[in-house]
Structure 1
Amino acid sequence: MAYLTAALILVGLLALINLVFTFGVVRRLREHTAELAALRGSGVTGVGGTDVALPAGATVGAFETAEVGGRPVSLAAMGERPLVGFFSPHCAPCKERLPLFAEHAASRPGGAGEVLAVVVGTPEETSDVVAQLLPVATVVVEPDQGPVQRAFGVSGFPAFVLLEDGVVGASGFDFEPVASRDAAAAVPSAG
């Protein structure tokens, strides 16, 4: 009976120690989440102090690539105001914003020829995301830090960029501000 009591006390102490460590881990995770949110909000993440892509006013670098069907893709052939989205199949925010991007892209006057979607990963990893984007965009699959990502200064996912007259008009992690700028620019001015 004494062995049973000692074993129960030992198991109870181990459970208590485990509980204390679990509370510590949860507390640290909350602190890290708050710190990441503060960094994201301050705009100091990414390349050169910008968000997740080149900032407004920047010029996109040159790149050579091909879309999933094999046709060459160049920025010059994408019209005056191409919309570009960068996605990763392993990124939870990408999965959240993908339907918004696809819906907006489908409603753009320029059609899929003026929307570029870059999906990062292997063809096997990216097949579901590519299938969702093909009806509304020119889709490129490339490895991490591929030529299109480097040209746009992409440092995180998702990233959205609206080009206007060859320079970045709007960019960011959140799609809504980029979509709003795109929708406003698509409306002809009265007058």
Structure 2
Amino acid sequence: MPYLTAVVALLSVMCLLTLVLTLGVIRRLREHTKLMDALYEAIDLMGGPPGPRGALGAGELVGEFDATTMDGDRVTRELLPEGAVVAFLSADCGGCRDQLPEIASWAAAQERRQVVAVLDARSGDPEELVTALSPVARMIVGDDVPAVGKAFGVQAFPTFYQVSAGGRLLAVEGRISRLRVGSPA
């Protein structure tokens, strides 16, 4: 019987030690995640390289494009109103789906003509994005998407561009909440 008690005590100590070590690893991973987020934030604030969001940066002129929205409206670089936001989203983008409630809420607080959502639906089902955004944004889906993406130099999804009248970029961001326009969500 003393042998069995010693084994149980040893196993209890080992389990407790394992639990303490696991909690330490989790705490360390959380600290690491915060540091990585801070690093990415610092890179964004410093302007970073022309990527990862887009090949064009603030101050540059968007390339020529001519597209038609789902409502039949024509959209070109010259027809974008002052301060318009052009959101590039993809149907198979997890980050796009994660930000969808925030994007829809933000866009609902803007004039619909000020928000253009360009949706790459080649590799996924766009229904969720179209349903959420078509009431609050002009939607470009289909054959025009590659040309519009090329004009803006899109390299990642989601990417949000704020443009001046005539198509000069005012800001390029990976989150809608980072744009300094309109009413925040």
Same structural fold, with TM-score higher than 0.5 when normalized by the shorter chain: yes
1:105 equivalenced with 2:108 (yes/no)? no
Please give the secondary structure, in 1, of the residue aligned with 2:126.
Answer: helix
**CA deviation profile, 1:73-93 (whole Å, cap 9, x unmatched):** 5516x7252732223563234
1:162 to partner: Cα distance: 2.0
Contact 1:171 1:178 survives alignment (8 Å): no
The answer to whether the Cα contact below 8 Å between 2:54 and 2:152 also exists between their aligned partners in 1 is no
- In the alignment, what sits opposite 1:96? 102
Q: Percent identity?
A: 20
2:43 alignment partner in structure 1: 39
Q: 1:22 aligns with which of 1, 23, 26?
A: 26
Shift of 1:122: 5.1
Runs of at least 5 residues in structure 1 that lack an aligned partner in the other structure? 181-191
- Once the two structures are TM-superposed, the CA of residue 29 in structure 1 deviates from its matched residue by 0.9
Q: Aligned residue for 2:14?
A: 10
Give the aligned partner of residue 135 of structure 1: 135
1:177: how far off?
2.5
Pairwise CA distance, 1:125: 3.9
Structure 1 residue 22: deviation in Å? 1.4
State the 1:98 CA deviation.
Answer: 2.9
Shift of 1:24: 1.7
**Cα distance in 1 for residues equivalent to 2:116 and 2:147:** 14
TM-superposed deviation, 1:137: 3.3
| Structure 2 runs not aligned, ≥5 long | none
Q: Distance in 1 between matches of 2:142 and 2:55?
A: 17
TM-score, scaled to structure 1: 0.66
Deviation digits for residues 68-124 of structure 1 (CA, Å, limit 9, x no counterpart): 47x695516x72527322235632345323322233133xxxx4xx75211244585
Q: CA RMSD in A?
A: 3.5
1-side partners of 2:170 and 2:141: how far apart?
Answer: 23
- For these two proteins, the number of residue pairs brought into alignment is 168
Verify the 8 A CA contact 1:68 1:140 in the aligned structure 2.
yes
The TM-score, its normalising length taken from structure 2, stands at 0.68
Q: Does the CA-based 8 Å contact 1:123-1:141 persist in structure 2?
A: no
The answer to whether the 8 Å contact 1:118/1:142 transfers is no
Among 54, 57, 60, the alignment partner of 1:58 is 60
